[in-house]
Structure 1
Amino acid sequence: MPRTTAAQRLLDVRTIYHEPQIEQWARARQVLERFPDAERVEVPSHQDIPGLYGNPGGVERWVRTKREVLVLGEKKSLAARPNGRSADFIAPSTSNGCAMACSYCYVPRRKGFANPVTVFVNIEKIAGYLARHAARQGPKPEPNQCDPTDWVYDLGENGDCSADALVSDNVRDLVDLFAGLEGAKASFATKLVNRDLLDWDPRGGTRVRFSLMPEPMAHRLDLRTSRIPERIAAVNDFVEAGYEVHLNFSPVVVHEQWQAQWAELFEQVDDVLSERAKAQLACEIIFLTHNEQLHEVNLGWHPRGEELLWRSDLQEAKTSHSGQANVRYRAGWKGTWVRQLTDLLASRMPYCRVRYAF
């Protein structure tokens, strides 16, 4: 019996919302041809879809919408925002939303009650902008936590590039771009093992960051994703294919057994990684930040996850820079927990450099 592919498991596209005259873009035509049986619905803007965004009743179809709906639009504003944490710059998005359904994801906070994939079809303009921006930077003057030599551009701030690659060639175009850019590197985090990417030729110009958490937590929180053992097993293959591969240990969710579970995860990683993979490895450690609005949405479709994510006994309120009501682990405790986890990592995987932890 043939195996179900990632695309078949995640996507059964039945409706494509698109902006007017979308077929002027070659990338839009590619997506439409990839899903020929989908109903096409013209809308004023990818951000203005009546009945989809801002509709409280949509939460009951949260996963179904991710599976059955795509949105096509043009990315109007092109800017590479300074970052300095995971990457030097956040690249202009080539997508928004995700086919997967991680219950802690911050992207839906701005969308309301639906979060399907939006593909931005003006990829040529985005790629051209990035090439010019990278050229203007010149050589990196000194190493930083993002990279010792290259300017790093995060490609996947608002989605998952491995999943986006199931929908269009946007991600491949950017991997090809950075394969030929001197002094610049693309980077994206992913929870999906898309082995189609192994056939590309990144030539060291793209950093893939596989996100990992203990399997019991992932089973509750990382819905519609590749399982943790599959992600770990993929690291060696992606290194051999010419990618730089780092790990995102995130989000770290504190609960009564959290340290024992992370110790077990570190042992699993250490047992699987090749010496070549270990030699180039680094990681990011990110403790959970949750959001009040997202918490209310999640209660409508996945309340069991909120038992882990919404812990008033451990968390305190934090207003984000955009004015949203977030919660994070209490400052006095979080610093201790960060040190405990980094010490645990150093004892189990001493070769894994921590680029940052917070």
Structure 2
Amino acid sequence: MEERAALRQPVPGDRATVAGGLLRIEKIYHEPDVAAYERGCEILARFPDAERVEVPSHWNIPELHGDEGGVGEWNRTKKTVLVLGAKKGLQVRPFYRSCDFIAPSQANGCAMACSYCYVARRKGYANPITAFVNIGGIMGAVERHASKQGMKLEGTQADESLWVYELGTNSDLSVDAAVSDNVRDLVGLFRELPNAKATFATKFVNREMLDYDPRGGTRLRFSLMPPETSKLVDVRTSPVEERIRSINDFVEAGYEVNVNFGPVIVKDGWREDYAGLFSMLDDWLSPAAKAQLAAEVIFLTHTRELHEVNLKWHPKGEELLWRPDLQEFKTSQASGDKVLRYERNAKRALVAEFRETLAERLPYCRVRYAF
């Protein structure tokens, strides 16, 4: 087995609190062989006082994934529980919006608790971080795939000259980076690939990542919405103002920094709220940050299942998210799930309003896509 290492004893001291207190790991569920991987040993040693519970699979933890009563402990579970396993499927999949390809994930789940997030539907209740310890295999799959692509001869929506690999469809890598060196290793990989760059969206400011030296090989996308709305639905995330204030620093550190306006939540005064957000960006961004700025715009998608779960732990947020008077059910082309989206004809006008406001306030911000 690759990356084998002798099982090391936990190092003395309490290092359970990471990510500025967002995580305080008290229990680690782990697959039987995680200590056979160097990365597994490193993570276990980082949280020496955490209770360890062996499980057959990171997908098979009934007390996390099948216990409906666990919804009452939603935020505590995300703060105190970590899952370790090995990523089984290492396929690279084509995509067409934020990237050209989706890389095998180095983690799934999240310590944050955005009430609109589809990731919570994947593994049931709370869905804390699962970190994958076979990072060598994950990186090898990406490197081989990029090598087979050769140079990019024709531009796509994702990038004109480089193949773009999405790293973060199932987790937030800025938080994952506080758990292990998986993200540092991936940034290092894309620093060296001549024909590819990495990308991921985030709602957390991890300033330790400023030292990763990406040299333009990683596109970080800060997800943004009006601060007052974010305070209600972006649970356990960095404040929007902090995300904006960090953009110049990440550009200076060698990242390409874009923004992700999503999900756009329609409510009374939403257009004025976004005009204020755009002005905040314009006031703060440096000339270098403005010169490379691009955006993705994604209007809210919701589901009845997630709505019912949210009512049990965060009903206030559902006053904004669950709007059957404005929404309609539709089958998602990406997942095949039945989802609730803003009514089709009304949404066209909403998207047009958003783009008009953005063009007025941030004329230099290129829109990669809006839907």
TM-score for the superposition, normalised by structure 2: 0.94
Aligned to 1:222: 234
* 4, 8, 31: which one aligns with 1:19: 31
Asked if residue 354 in structure 1 is aligned to residue 371 in structure 2, the reply is: no
Aligned to 2:304: 292
Distance between the aligned counterparts of 1:193 and 1:152, measured in 2?
22
Asked if residue 327 in structure 1 is aligned to residue 340 in structure 2, the reply is: yes
Distance between the aligned counterparts of 1:6 and 1:188, measured in 2?
21
Aligned to 2:352: 339
Amino acid at match of 2:233: L
Aligned to 1:33: 45
Distance between the aligned counterparts of 1:59 and 1:325, measured in 2?
22
Asked if residue 105 in structure 1 is aligned to residue 140 in structure 2, the reply is: no
Gaps of 5+ in 2: 1-16
CA displacement 1:191-235 (0-9 Å, x = unmatched)? 001000001110100000000000011010101111011100111
Offset at residue 21 of structure 1 (A): 2.1
Displacement over 2 Å in runs of 4+: 319-325
More divergent stretch after superposition (348-357 vs 134-143): 134-143
Aligned to 1:56: 68
SS at match of 1:44: coil
Distance between the aligned counterparts of 2:263 and 2:33, measured in 1?
40
Q: Aligned-pair RMSD on alpha carbons?
A: 1.0
Offset at residue 6 of structure 1 (A): 6.0
Distance between the aligned counterparts of 1:348 and 1:6, measured in 2?
37
Identity of aligned residues (%): 62
The 5 A counterparts of 1:194-273 are 194-273=206-285
* 324, 329, 344: which one aligns with 1:312: 324
Distance between the aligned counterparts of 1:21 and 1:76, measured in 2?
13
Amino acid at match of 2:39: R
* 45, 66, 80: which one aligns with 2:57: 45
CA displacement 1:230-284 (0-9 Å, x = unmatched)? 1001110000000000000110000111000000000000000000100011000
Cα pair distance change 1:59/1:188, threshold 3 Å: same
Distance between the aligned counterparts of 2:89 and 2:96, measured in 1?
21
Offset at residue 319 of structure 1 (A): 2.2
Cα pair distance change 1:110/1:35, threshold 3 Å: same
Offset at residue 320 of structure 1 (A): 2.7
Distance between the aligned counterparts of 2:272 and 2:315, measured in 1?
25
Aligned to 1:170: 182
Offset at residue 8 of structure 1 (A): 4.0
> Is the contact made by 1:16 and 1:38 (CA closer than 8 Å) also made in structure 2?
yes
CA displacement 1:138-191 (0-9 Å, x = unmatched)? 111211110011000000100000000010000000000000001100000000
Distance between the aligned counterparts of 2:287 and 2:180, measured in 1?
34
> Is the contact made by 2:248 and 2:289 (CA closer than 8 Å) also made in structure 1?
yes
Amino acid at match of 1:356: Y
> Is the contact made by 1:162 and 1:190 (CA closer than 8 Å) also made in structure 2?
yes
SS at match of 1:135: helix
Distance between the aligned counterparts of 1:32 and 1:300, measured in 2?
33
CA displacement 1:258-312 (0-9 Å, x = unmatched)? 0000000000000000001000110000000001111111111100000000001
SS at match of 1:141: coil
Query: For this pair of structures, how many residues does the alignment match?
Result: 354
SS at match of 1:286: strand
> Is the contact made by 2:303 and 2:340 (CA closer than 8 Å) also made in structure 1?
yes
Offset at residue 50 of structure 1 (A): 2.1
* 180, 187, 196: which one aligns with 2:192: 180
Amino acid at match of 2:33: Q
Amino acid at match of 1:174: L
SS at match of 1:306: helix
> Is the contact made by 2:26 and 2:49 (CA closer than 8 Å) also made in structure 1?
yes
Cα pair distance change 1:345/1:8, threshold 3 Å: closer
Distance between the aligned counterparts of 2:332 and 2:299, measured in 1?
15
Amino acid at match of 2:176: D
Offset at residue 323 of structure 1 (A): 4.1
The 5 A counterparts of 1:27-176 are 27-176=39-188
TM-score for the superposition, normalised by structure 1: 0.97
Asked if residue 276 in structure 1 is aligned to residue 288 in structure 2, the reply is: yes
SS at match of 2:63: coil
Gaps of 5+ in 1: none
Aligned to 2:4: none
Distance between the aligned counterparts of 2:237 and 2:125, measured in 1?
20
Distance between the aligned counterparts of 2:101 and 2:336, measured in 1?
23
> Is the contact made by 2:19 and 2:206 (CA closer than 8 Å) also made in structure 1?
no
